Amino acid sequence: MAGKVIILCAPSGSGKTTLAKHLLNQEMFNLRFSTSATTRKKRENETNGIDYHFITIKEFENKISQGEFIEYEKVYDDVYYGTLKSEIKELIKNYNIIFDVDVIGALSLKKYFTEQALTIFINPPSLEELRKRLIERGLNSKDDLEERLNKAKKEIEMKLSFDHSVTNDKLDFTKSKISEIVKVFLKN
Ligand code: ADP
Ligand code: 5GP
């Protein structure tokens, strides 16, 4: 079972990382995470090459001009994120792949992988709850927090473009719901 693509998408703080880890832990799904490249600063809890390939703006722009990305974007002001063709090429022969990207990236990847791909939008229960989770996670400055919340509002408006939209209220319930969606997709 290989060659399929799961694209998880959600406003920052909605639980994508938590849910992606839950799916990756289920051996029967044979999933591997697509590590994106980014120019943002590495956080203390992150590992280069695992969470992201952390590169400079110059390196990123060089890769753009060499056509090395399937998709890339300036997700936040002056911060690039992108999916490298080299990351996927070998992985997809032996595994199913899970992506954690923003809305525009998700729709670009869906266009690229077409029916091989399933898009899932993770909805926060509310913007107030999203703010609370971002503050509790404690990784963002105040300006950064407001930028993420503003972006969240726009992203939520696009959820109907996804194959599935799941509200992450009670975590255990969301985990089972997403596992079931993925199970059905990978089986067919
Ligand atoms: P993302 O990857 O979308 O930015 P995370 O997975 O890092 O989001 O989750 C953001 C924070 O919210 C984390 O502290 C996480 O433990 C918490 N969280 C995730 N899902 C839930 C939930 N259903 N209820 C309460 N807290 C949650
Ligand atoms: P964070 O800085 O919180 O890790 O991620 C910020 C946002 O960038 C998230 O919405 C995440 O899904 C998105 N992102 C991560 N990698 C990529 C990528 O390769 N392409 C695109 N388009 N977005 C990405």
Give the total number of structural domains in the chain: 1
Structural domain including 59 reads 5-187
pLDDT at 141: 78
The DSSP 8-state label assigned to residue 5 in this structure reads E
The DSSP bridge partners found for residue 97 are 5, 32
First to last CA, the chain: 10
Q: What is the tens place of the pLDDT at every residue in 124-150?
A: 999 999 999 989 988 777 778 888 899
Which band of pLDDT confidence, cut at 50, 70 and 90, is reported for residue 78?
Answer: confident
Q: How many whole angstroms from 187 Cα to the centroid of ligand 2?
A: 28
Check which CATH number belongs to the domain holding 121 and give it.
3.40.50.300
| Ligand 1 centroid – CA 168 distance (Å) | 9
Ligand 1 pocket mutation, candidates 18, 25, 155, criterion most atoms within 8 A of CB: 18
Q: Which ligand is nearest to the CA of 51?
A: 2
Whose C-alpha lies nearest to ligand 2, atom 22?
Answer: 105
Helices 16-24 and 171-187, packing angle to 10 deg: 50
Residue 76, pLDDT above cutoff 80: no
